Amino acid sequence: MLINADCFEALKGIASNSVEAVVTDPPYGLGACTPAQVAECLQAWSSGKTWTPKGSGFMGKAWDAWVPPPELWREVLRVLKPGGHGLIFAGSRTQDLMGMSLRLAGFELRDVVQWLYGEGFPKSHNIGKATQDEQWDGWGTTLKPAYEPAFLVRKPLIGTVAENVLVYGCGGLNIDGSRIAGNEDMKPQESGDSRLFSDLKAGIEFIPNPLGRWPTNIMLDQQASVLLEQQAKAARFFYCAKASKSEREAGLSGSERVNIHPTVKPIDLMRYLIRLITPPHGTVLDPFMGSGSTGCAAALEGVNFIGIERELEYFAIAQQRVAYWGGDVEALEYPEPKPDEPDQLSLFW
């Protein structure tokens, strides 16, 4: 199901404890982020108050002025089943704020997955050119971006993992379904099996798992893997390149560039993340659907999907893309706020 609405309002219409997983690429909050603003924000968040940022973020977008606040993530936490996992992308320079927002909402932070890529482009200020001073030639202001983090979070369990899984159908990670097929001659210390060290200590012979290596918290695109010193050692990680133009445009009409969303995640990456945390026949939620990559991935993985997107132009693109990959595009549209009713999302960014 696809919902064209402010995500804060749309989430209120979703039943508590009704979805098994969350996979989303929310705003990174890449606007002005001064120490004073951070202090003011955290003071408000820690006391349970709403904090309203000023300005805009990535490509001048107002929705990217700041990371989503704890009150938004509390609604996500409410609809997630106990033990349900989320994989929440963040920006490299604002991941501290995203992590704090998730923690204050009540999520357990279990790990941070790193997607490494070799195609990043540095947006640096040339200091030598700006100063017209030769001593500053070759000096800049930023590094080349080469990774994006995704927080692996979990809604607190009720009881033990085993008890939670039996009652709510979630609480664990799909390890075998997400193993990395690779070298058959892997050494015991490279397997990652939880029984490895106890078995070795007891003198039990190690037998590599035929399904492949244990999933890691590192994922690579092909260029990043080539940059590693030993190609064989890179074979233990999941590979996924950035979304190509043909993938971004698949299912869309028009001869010109029609997927205008500025941050399109690759479908294979979202498929892998969905597979890792979503139980069979479960439902995955994306409250920041954008142009629909998570929905496309959910369709290909055969799981249910709820996607929420406020911007109508992105929502229309998502509908076409999800339909192309075989997903359910039943759409709900929420009415626009009345003139005397502020858009809830504008309270946050």
pLDDT, tens digit only, all 349 positions of the chain: 999 999 999 999 999 999 999 999 999 988 778 899 899 999 999 998 888 887 665 656 666 688 999 999 999 999 999 999 999 999 999 999 999 999 999 999 999 999 988 777 777 888 889 998 889 999 998 888 889 999 999 999 999 999 999 999 999 999 999 998 765 455 544 444 555 555 555 555 556 778 888 899 988 877 766 666 455 455 677 877 788 888 888 888 765 567 778 778 899 999 999 999 999 999 999 999 998 999 999 999 999 999 999 989 889 889 999 999 987 767 665 544 444 443 333 333 2
What pLDDT score does 54 carry? 78
Distances (CA, A) of 230 to 182, 213, 225, 235: 14, 17, 9, 9
Q: Is residue 120 part of a domain?
A: yes
Q: Is residue 201 part of a domain?
A: no
| Coil, helix or strand at residue 333 | strand
Asked if 88 and 150 touch (Cβ cutoff 8 Å), the reply is: yes
Calpha distance 259→318 (Å, rounded)? 9
Calpha distance 256→279 (Å, rounded)? 39
What pLDDT score does 298 carry? 96
Asked if 259 and 202 touch (Cβ cutoff 8 Å), the reply is: no
Residues 6+ apart with CB under 8 A from 320: 251, 252, 253
List phi, psi (to 5°) of 28.
-90, -15
Contacts 24+ apart (CB under 8 A), 300-306: 300/267, 300/271, 300/325, 300/326, 301/271, 301/274, 301/275, 303/274, 303/278, 304/328, 305/1, 306/1, 306/3, 306/14, 306/19
Q: Is residue 182 part of a domain?
A: no
Calpha distance 28→99 (Å, rounded)? 11
- Give the CATH number, domain containing residue 91: 3.40.50.150
Transcribe 215-248 into DSSP letters: P-SEEE-HHHHHHSS-HHHHTTSEE-PPPPHHHH
pTM listed for this prediction: 0.84
| Helix/strand/coil percentages in the chain, nearest 5 | 35, 15, 50
What pLDDT score does 32 carry? 77
Asked if 30 and 60 touch (Cβ cutoff 8 Å), the reply is: no
Q: Is residue 193 part of a domain?
A: no
Q: Is residue 226 part of a domain?
A: no
Q: Tell me which DSSP letter residue 28 carries.
A: -
Number of domains in the chain: 1
What pLDDT score does 346 carry? 31
Beta bridge partners of 193: none
Q: Is residue 216 part of a domain?
A: no
Q: Is residue 221 part of a domain?
A: no
Asked if 88 and 98 touch (Cβ cutoff 8 Å), the reply is: yes
Q: Is residue 112 part of a domain?
A: yes
What pLDDT score does 4 carry? 93
List phi, psi (to 5°) of 155.
-75, 135
Domain that holds residue 123: 2-174+240-347
| Coil, helix or strand at residue 306 | strand
What pLDDT score does 61 carry? 66
| Coil, helix or strand at residue 314 | helix
Calpha distance 81→326 (Å, rounded)? 26
